[in-house]
Structure 1
Amino acid sequence: MLAYLIFALTIGGIYALLALSLNLIWGGIGLVNLGLVGFFALGAYASALLTGAGLPVLFGWGGAIVVGAIAGLVVTLATTRLRDDYLAIVTLGLAEVIRLVALNERWLTNGSDGISGIQAPMKSALGNQGFNLFYLALVSVIVLVVWLALRRLDRSPYGRAMKAIREDQELAGFAGKNVLGFKVQAFAVSAALAGLAGALYAHFQSYISPDHFQPLITIYIFLAVAAGGVGRPAGGVLGAYVVVFFLELTRFLPDLVPWLAPAQFAACREILVGLSLILVLRFRPQGLLPEQIVPAPKS
């Protein structure tokens, strides 16, 4: 039971990092990334391939951050002439392209068989239980550091400029803000965080395949941010843990409804996820931790 709880908390931390990534652009500057899982996959495969080539794990994580940031830059710069809703469509397509490339380019990703034997830092020295506790602590510290950084950003003049662009980008542009520059920077940082989350996931699981990066993960993260509170970093973190524990608790539903076949039960779980999102948006649209707009300091 303890091992299962540690696993759930670790996955919750990785999802929290993804939620912080999404909240930065969705709640911060008003961009919607429907392909979050694609950047998650890029980070996972980048780190797995780099460490598989003999590089240390830290280099793999750094490579995942760089690959994610570059992908974010390419996507935003390639859609500068399009409206923001088209950016959401482009990211959705990009995520599926990344998954299909991972599925079909066996020379690079080993196709549907995936990549196994990914380095797990300190596992040989700590053993399974010790490694799980160590990795939980590591992921928790990373989430805490990222949360503190984004919280500070949120309350800074830069963060207030992002919120102004979110509310009315034309007015922000008239006020002298470089709207495109803010969007590109925010999306690149968001994609880098998603890439880091993917790298952490790969080295925790020690195995990744295209099946690990289904579009449903993006829906889970959107549910986490919506449930926690769009525009507030703490809300995204809280929502991520709530969603993970909700998903894990529903695994025990077959004990309550034994007449359902496994395929029917899997479908019911997804129905419950969708219903939860609808209920949150209907009865608590501001989330569990509503956004708090900090007034600018008086000059």
Structure 2
Amino acid sequence: MEAYLVAMLVFAGFYALMALGLNVIWGLTGMVNLGLVGFFGLGAYASALLTTKAGLPMPLGWLSGATIAAIAGGIMALIVARLRGDYLAIVTLGFAEVIRLVASNEIWLTNGTDGISGIPGPWRGYVSPQQFNLIFLGIVWTAVAVGFYFLSRASHSPFGRVLRAIREDEDIAAVAGKPVLWFKVRAFVTGAAVLGAAGALYAHYNAFIAPESFAPLLTIYIVLALTAGGVGSMRGAIVGAIFLITLIEGTRFIAAEIPGVTPVQKAALREGAIALTLILLLRFRPQGLIPEKTRTKA
């Protein structure tokens, strides 16, 4: 049970990092991004390939994963920055599917649907699995703490205030003399870098990645985590990620204790309980568990 709880906390850290990245793009800037799993996958594949085939040390692999995802984010931002609403959501969702299809079909590079195995982890093989989980728990949550610190400062800086202005009405922000496109690109690059870093860490924790690891369902989970925690709130992104992991895994144990139902019925009840909890939360707490707070000068 202890190993299971530690593993869930590690995955909560991955979710928290992804929610922080999404919060910059969607929460602060108002750009709907349904392609975040694509940036997550780019970071994972970049770090995995560079460490297994090019022999780079893991820290450089993690940095490279974040950098490649950031570059892709910048290119994507230039393409979609003038799109809004449903059009933006569709294009970003298509981007994520393109990344997954490329990973499935470019066997020479990604090994296709067989995936990449043997991805190194810090001290894997020299310590017990329990100790490895604890080491990675520290690494992931250190990354979350660093990301939270810098993104929180950025969100309350002039840069963050411009992003909020763009979110509320980008035409007014443009009239005020702000280069809207440039700020959108910077927001996308920042968020994509955090998503790529999360993917790189995931690859080295799991030791194996394959295209099915980056299905659209993961994007839905992160959107739910940020919505539950509080869109626009950095603290809310982290709390929402922990809340979602607790909800998903907690209902697993509750469903297992229900007598007289089949496994299929238990799975359906579990999904219903998750959906009902999220609906009730958004009904009675639409601003999320920790609403966004902005600082204004007196």
Establish whether TM, by shorter chain, passes 0.5. Answer: yes
> For the Cα contact (< 8 Å) 1:76–1:87, is it kept in 2?
no
Measured at CA, do residues 93 and 272 of structure 1 come closer, stay the same or move farther in structure 2, by a change above 3 Å? farther
Q: Give the C-alpha shift of residue 267 in structure 1.
A: 4.7
CA contact (8 A) 2:39 2:96 kept: yes
Assess if the C-alpha contact under 8 Å between 1:36 and 1:218 holds in 2. Answer: yes
Query: Which segment is superposed worse, 161-170 or 100-109?
Result: 100-109
Residue in structure 1 matched with residue 21 of structure 2 by the alignment: 21
Deviation at residue 158 of structure 1 after TM alignment: 1.2
SS at match of 2:154: helix
Report if the CA contact (8 A) 1:254-1:260 is conserved. Answer: no
**2:284 aligned partner:** 283
- The offset of 1:257, in angstroms, is 4.9
* Aligned-pair CA distance for 1:84: 4.8
Q: Is the 8 A contact 1:20 1:233 kept in 2?
A: yes
Change (3 A) 1:137 1:26: same
Alignment: residue pair count: 296
Aligned counterparts of 1:112 and 1:271: Cα–Cα separation in 2 = 31
Q: Which amino acid aligns with 1:164?
A: A
User: How far off its partner does 1:56 sit?
Assistant: 0.8
Alignment deviations for residues 181-202 of structure 1 (CA, whole Å, 9 cap, x no partner): 1101001110111010001111
Structure-2 separation of matches of 1:36 and 1:269: 26
Contact 2:251–2:274 under 8 Å retained in 1: no
Q: How far did 1:71 drift?
A: 1.1
- Tell me the TM-score normalized by structure 1: 0.94
Q: In the alignment, which residue of structure 2 is the partner of 1:194?
A: 195
Distance change in 2, residues 1:92/1:265 (3 Å): farther
State the alpha-carbon separation in 1 of the partners of residues 103 and 27 from structure 2. Answer: 30
Question: Kindly, what percent of the aligned residue pairs are identical?
Answer: 55
| Alignment partners' CA distance in 1, 2:270 and 2:18 | 21
Residue 66 of structure 1, CA deviation:
1.2
The equivalent of 1:256 in structure 2 is 258
Post-superposition Cα deviations, 1:45-74, rounded to whole Å, max 9, x if no partner, equal 111111111111112111111111111111
Q: Check the 8 A contact 2:19/2:226 in 1, yes or no.
A: yes
1:286 corresponds to which letter in structure 2? Q
* 1:1-299 pair list within 5 angstroms: 1-53=1-53, 54-252=55-253, 253-257=255-259, 259-262=261-264, 264-296=265-297, 298=298
Q: Which runs of 5+ in 2 are unaligned?
A: none
Structure 2 distance, partners of 1:99, 1:159, is 32
1:118-140: CA deviations, max 9, x gaps? 00112233332221111101111
Task: Name the aligned partner's letter for residue 261 of structure 1.
Answer: P
> Distance between the aligned counterparts of 2:259 and 2:49, measured in 1?
43
Pairwise CA RMSD: 1.6
Q: Match of 1:73, as an amino acid?
A: G
Task: Write the distance in 2 (CA, Å) between the matches of 1:114 and 1:24.
Answer: 30
Query: Larger deviation: 33-42 or 272-281?
Result: 272-281
CA deviation vs aligned residue, 1:94-137 (integer Å, no higher than 9, x gap) = 11111122222222222222111100112233332221111101
Matched residue of 1:124: which SS?
A: coil
Pairwise CA distance, 1:261? 3.1
1:290–1:73 CA distance, 2 compared to 1 (3 A): same
Q: With the length of structure 2 as denominator, give the TM-score of the two structures.
A: 0.94
Q: For the residues of structure 1 that align with 2:78 and 2:246, how far apart are their CA atoms?
A: 37
Alpha-carbon distance between aligned partners in 2 of 1:150 and 1:40, rounded to the nearest angstrom: 18
